[in-house]
Amino acid sequence: MIFKLLPQYLFNREERVPKLGLGPFHTNVAAYTTEPESGLRITWMGHSSMLVEIDGVRVLLDPVWDERASPVQWAGPKRFFAPTLRLEQLPQIDVVLISHDHYDHLGAGTVRQLAELQPEARWVTPLGVGEILRRLGVQTERIEEIDWTETVSIAGGLEITALPSRHFSGRSLFNRFETLWASFVLRGTGHTVYYAADSGWWEGFAEIGAEYGPFDLTMLEIGASNELWHSIHLGPDGAMRAFHALGGMGLLMPIHWGLFDLALHAWRQPIERLIALAESEGLKLWAPKPGLPTEVLRGVEMHSDWWR
């Protein structure tokens, strides 16, 4: 693969990093003093980090406030824009959900801070990731590691179920596949959300949709894709295919884009391609502005042109 990739890296002319600065984007933290009228509100911080308020429970997904998605903060993929709020400004979190151990989903500096700022939060993660969290300061009794198809019940009536995805794990070249990765179903008292996290296409999407759907909101990754590694990242075309396999109902939320340069495509390409696909097929997208606490209304699209 290296012989195929090297020419692409050397001769690539795509705008992989925005030429003009993005943002700043700011979250109005006053919004969190009242519960969402719809019962479901999302604050997307970019990439796969977001706060999900679902039927009275607050879930923080794959939080990365770190400057770089990297084992060091002086090199590696750098954020396109600053965090939309400080970690100290987050409301009380019920659950921090980590899908896998890659640096763009598990930021070491972020976890260290959250362990101190949110001591009452529960941490739910796939098998093996708990040891990383412990080393970063999360108390053992606050961590719950679960296998695929296992469910954790959260006070307030939320159930979190870990499900398979087609990806891999490892925070270095020497510890691949030592921890588990997962997608998740969040089932509240009135809403159901599917967070696919990182995955390539696989036939199991149809099984997930049949057994756990329909979903009010389906979060599918569209960035960091390339034909050479299509088996571990969907890209916009794969996301559309997966959405259909999952049942094609509700709203499709594009994630895993717009914050880090992790592939060879132009940074806008994933969302431009997905919008074109959705328009041609008449599907409804839900794509909010970074940092904006946004209510999810059944069947109501959300478009933001912040990336233009």
- Residue range of the domain that includes 156: 2-296
Total count of domains within the chain: 1
Model pLDDT for residues 59-96, shown as the tens digit of each residue:
999 999 999 999 899 999 999 999 999 999 999 999 99
The reported pLDDT for the residue numbered 172 is 85
Over residues 236-244, the mean pLDDT reads 97
Q: Is residue 306 part of a domain?
A: no
The tokens for 42 are 């999302």
- pLDDT higher than threshold 60 for residue 10: no
Model pLDDT for residues 49-62, shown as the tens digit of each residue:
999 999 999 999 99
- pLDDT higher than threshold 50 for residue 6: no
Q: How many residues does the chain have?
A: 308
Q: Is residue 193 part of a domain?
A: yes
Model pLDDT for residues 148-190, shown as the tens digit of each residue:
999 999 999 999 999 999 999 999 878 888 999 999 999 999 9
CATH number of the CATH domain containing 196: 3.60.15.10
- pLDDT higher than threshold 90 for residue 241: yes
3-state helix vs strand vs coil in the chain, percent to 5: 25, 20, 55
The reported pLDDT for the residue numbered 12 is 59
Instruction: Give the C-alpha separation, 123 to 140, whole Å.
Output: 9
What are the residues facing 204 on neighbouring strands?
A: none
The sign one gets for the Cα dihedral 37, 39, 45, 46 is negative
Q: Is residue 41 part of a domain?
A: yes
Phi-psi region of 170 (alpha: psi -120 to 50; beta: other; left: phi over 0): left
Instruction: Give the C-alpha separation, 42 to 51, whole Å.
Output: 6
| DSSP per-residue string spanning 42-56 | EEEEETTEEEEEETT
The reported pLDDT for the residue numbered 281 is 93
Over residues 241-261, the mean pLDDT reads 97
Instruction: Give the C-alpha separation, 105 to 99, whole Å.
Output: 7
Q: Is residue 305 part of a domain?
A: no
Q: Is residue 302 part of a domain?
A: no
Q: Is residue 182 part of a domain?
A: yes
Model pLDDT for residues 197-238, shown as the tens digit of each residue:
999 999 999 999 999 999 999 999 999 988 887 899 999 999
Instruction: Give the C-alpha separation, 256 to 260, whole Å.
Output: 9
The identity of residue 157, as a single letter, is G
The reported pLDDT for the residue numbered 173 is 79
Q: Is residue 75 part of a domain?
A: yes
Q: Is residue 308 part of a domain?
A: no
What percent of the chain is predicted at pLDDT more than 90? 89
